[in-house]
Amino acid sequence: MTKALRNKVFNDNVPVMVSICTITYNHSKFITECIEGFLNQECDFRVEIIIYDDASNDGTSNIIKEYADSHPTIIRPILLNENQYSKGVNPYYSYVFPITKGAYIAICDGDDYWNDPAKLSRQVSILEAEHNTAITYGPVHAFNEEGTVESYRGGACRNLSPNELKLGPPINTLTVCFRNIFKDALPPLFLRNSPVGDLTVWAMLGYHGGGRYIADMPPANYRIHQGGILSLIPRRKTYFMAAMTYLSIAAYHSENNDNSSAQLCLKNATGMVNRKLLARFDDVDINDTSFRAKVRLWNRRRKLRREAKKNASS
């Protein structure tokens, strides 16, 4: 019988298979349940748990320290004295992803939790067997203080092709386990600073394979509460954040010469703003040139510069 992670001690020379990545801030009421869900994982490979605390002031860091002291070969704490999220810093890109050692990454923030001890084993077995799969994910159970939130629709509930992943589709982040594409290099700064960071990860993974939805995986638990970073943001603001993110993803695909994906992401961004009546890009007129015409002109000039550079070097 496979032991739970809590009962294991790893040697430094054993390679890490999965890096569980967690960001937390003032989650003293929830972080224990989150960490216990990690330590209950039953797997026959090495796992590391990286917990980033963004200068909590409610005792969250003390709880993390206690767990790290009890499981020093498993838990790697990052405890900051000054909050970085308020400065516009994405902790995953700036602090967590760069130090991961695992072949795969799983994400679950400190106010959410898993209750399926076979979660990681199930996902790793698929990723090991299906080399054209870049990310696995599953169902989610959303709840608040009053109980289950039946109306919650968080992300994809089907398999996704590589091209669909490149468009940055919503996926329930706390359910994912994906190939670690950050070992060699981080993405460009403009992508790392996008407002909705998980969408940028899915878009990058599209260059490495498709997405596999595991329908029979027990749901992970997504908590909706006043302290949640994204769960209670006003809807209008989330639309703006998503639109800005898709513009960044479009730029990333353009840098990778995938103009088809870039155009679709640009269309997604402008369409979202138009549909949600946040603004009308069609109405923007600078010197009798519409916003979209400006973008087309910028793309043409960029293409000409690239071609000129290529001809000069040949």
pLDDT along the chain (314 residues), means of 10: 92 96 96 98 97 96 98 98 89 95 98 97 98 97 92 91 97 98 89 91 98 97 74 68 92 94 92 64 45 60 72 72
CB contact at 8 A, 156 and 168:
no
pLDDT value at residue 228: 53
User: Under 8 Å CB-to-CB from 32, ≥6 apart: which residues?
Assistant: 63
Per-residue confidence (pLDDT) for residue 73, from 0 to 100: 97
- The pLDDT value recorded for residue 292 is 56
The pLDDT of residue 237: 76
Given 3-state DSSP classes, what are the helix, strand and coil percentages for the chain, each rounded to the nearest 5? 40, 20, 40
Look at residue 281 in the predicted model and tell me its pLDDT. 46
Domain boundaries, the chain: 5-232, 236-313
What CA–CA distance (Å, rounded) separates 84 from 82?
6
Predicted local distance difference test score (pLDDT) of residue 277: 52
- Compute the radius of gyration of the chain from its Cα atoms: 21
Residue 311's pLDDT is 77
pLDDT, residue 251, reads: 93
| CATH superfamily, domain at 5-232 | Spore Coat Polysaccharide Biosynthesis Protein SpsA; Chain A (3.90.550.10)
Task: Count Cβ atoms within 10 A of the Cβ of residue 312 and give its class: 0-12 exposed, 13-18 middle, 19 or more buried.
Answer: exposed
For residue 225, what pLDDT is reported? Answer: 75
Structure tokens belonging to residue 38? 């990690």
Structure confidence at residue 314 (pLDDT): 66
Looking at residue 2, what is its pLDDT?
Answer: 86
Q: How far apart are the first and last CA of the chain?
A: 62
Which pLDDT score is estimated for 206? Answer: 98
Write the DSSP string, 98-159.
GG--SSEEEE--TT-B---TTHHHHHHHHHHH-TTEEEEE--EEEEETTEE-TT---S--S-
CB atoms within 10 A of CB 40: 17
Residue 286 confidence (pLDDT): 41
Q: Provide the whole-model pTM.
A: 0.86
